[in-house]
Amino acid sequence: MALLEIKEIAARDAGAIDELVSRAFQYQSPHHFLEDFPIWGTDRALRLGIYEQSQLVSHVGIRFCEMQTSRGLERIALMGAVATHEQHRGKGLSTTLLREAIQRVEARSCPWSILWGSEHEFYGRLGFKLEGTQARALISDLAINTAGLQSSPVKVGLTDSIFQDFLRRKTGIQFTEADRSWFFSHPTVEWHYLDEPFSYVAYQRGMDLKHMVHEMGGDLRGIQKILYHIYLQCPIAQVMGQTDDLIKLGFPMKAIFEENLCLARPTFAGEKWKPEYWISGLSAC
Ligand SMILES: CC(C)(COP(=O)(O)OP(=O)(O)OC[C@H]1O[C@@H](n2cnc3c(N)ncnc32)[C@H](O)[C@@H]1OP(=O)(O)O)[C@@H](O)C(=O)NCCC(=O)NCCS
C-alpha cells in the first residue's frame, strides 16, 4: 500500500469533517454531527485526516484533557469522530489514523486513550478494551415523594452558573474557561434548571443521547424536581450517571442497569482502570 499522508486539519476546515462524519453516521439533514459534538470543530481538539486528491476521506479527532481523580488531575486523551468515506473503507485508513493518534498520545506520555464505538473487535486490535461502569435508569422508577414537586417552575436554558458549577467539579473530565465556547454551542442539548435550590440537568444530545439525562448538578431535591418535570413530558426518559449518584437520587438498585463506560487503551503496560474514573455525557465523544 502506498504511504498515506496524514494531515492536521485546522478548526476553520472542520466543515469537511462535519460532512464526512455526518454521512458515515447517517445524520438526516438538517441535523449534522458537529451540532451534537461541537468540540471537534474547535481549537480544543486535534484533527487528523487523510485526503484523496482534495477530498477528506478519513478522520480521527483527539481531545487532550485532564480527569479529576483522588490523586489529583490525570491526563487523558479522548478520541472521536472516527470515520472513513464508504468508498474508501477496508483499506486501513482508520487504522493508520488511529495508530498516528496513539503515537501522539504516547509522545505526550498521556496514560489513557478513550473512545466510544460498537466496533469492539476493530478497536481491540489497537489495544482498546471495554472499561469502567456507567449506570442508567428510567426516571419512572425514581422512588421519590412527588408532593410539591410541581410547585416551582423549571426553567430552560444554559446559564453561566451552570458552567461555573462544571468548572468546580471534583470528578470527571476537567473543564476550564477555554471550554466555554464549545460548551455553550450544543443546540441539541436541553438544559433544565432551578434557581432555588440551585440545580440543573442536561437532557438529550442529538442521535446519541435521545431521551437521556446525562448531566446533573446542584441540590438533590432540586434535581429530583427537574427529573419529575422531564418525566411528565417524556415517560420513557432515562438518567445516566454513576451508580452511587443514581442511588443517592433515590433509584432502587433493581431499577439500575449497569454497562461499560467506554473503550480504553492504557499507554503504559500494567496501567489499570480505576473505578473512580468517570466521563459524563457532555465529555463523551
Ligand atoms: C468503522 C470505520 C471507521 C472503519 O474505517 P476503515 O478505514 O474502513 O477501517 P480500516 O480499513 O482501518 O479497518 C477496517 C476494519 O474495521 C472493521 N469494521 C469496519 N466497520 C465495522 C463495523 N461496523 N463493525 C465491526 N467491524 C467493522 C472491518 O471489518 C475491517 O476489518 P478487517 O481489516 O479485518 O477486514 C468505517 O467503517 C466507518 O466510517 N464507519 C461508519 C462510522 C463509524 O461507525 N465509526 C466508528 C465509531 S466511532
Nearest CA to ligand 1 atom 41: 24
**What pLDDT does residue 1 have?**
52
- Strands laid side by side in the 199-203 sheet: 155-156, 190-194, 199-203, 212-218, 238-241, 134-138, 257-259
- Asked if residues 191 and 162 have their Cβ atoms less than 8 Å apart, the reply is yes
- CA dist., res. 278 & res. 7, Å (int): 31
Nearest CA to ligand 1 atom 16: 122
**What pLDDT does residue 70 have?**
87
- CA dist., res. 139 & res. 237, Å (int): 6
Does 97 have pLDDT greater than 60? yes
CATH of domain 6-131+262-266: 3.40.630.30
Domain ranges of the chain: 6-131+262-266, 134-259
State what percent of residues in the chain have pLDDT above 90.
91
Q: Which fold has domain 134-259?
A: Aminopeptidase (3.40.630)
Torsion angle (degrees, nearest 10) of CA 162, 164, 170, 175? 100
Q: What is the pLDDT of residues 153-206, one digit of tens each?
A: 899 999 999 999 999 998 999 999 999 999 999 999 999 999 999 999 999 999
How remote is the CA of residue 235 from the centroid of ligand 1, in Å? 36
Amino acid letter, 62 = I
Give the 3-state secondary structure of 145-179.
CCCCCCCCCCEECCCHHHHHHHHCCCCEECCCHHH
Helix or strand holding residue 97 (H, E): helix 93-107
Does 91 have pLDDT greater than 80? yes
Amino acid letter, 90 = G
**What pLDDT does residue 143 have?**
76
Same fold, 6-131+262-266 and 134-259: yes
Nearest CA to ligand 1 atom 21: 119
How remote is the CA of residue 57 from the centroid of ligand 1, in Å? 13
pTM: predicted TM-score of the whole model, two decimal places: 0.93
pLDDT band at 243 (very low <50, low <70, confident <90, very high): very high
- Asked if residues 280 and 215 have their Cβ atoms less than 8 Å apart, the reply is yes
Residues with CB under 6 A from ligand 1: 24-25, 58, 82-84, 89-95, 117, 119, 121-122
Average pLDDT in the 30-53 region? 96
Ligand 1 nearest atom to the CA of residue 25, by list position: 42
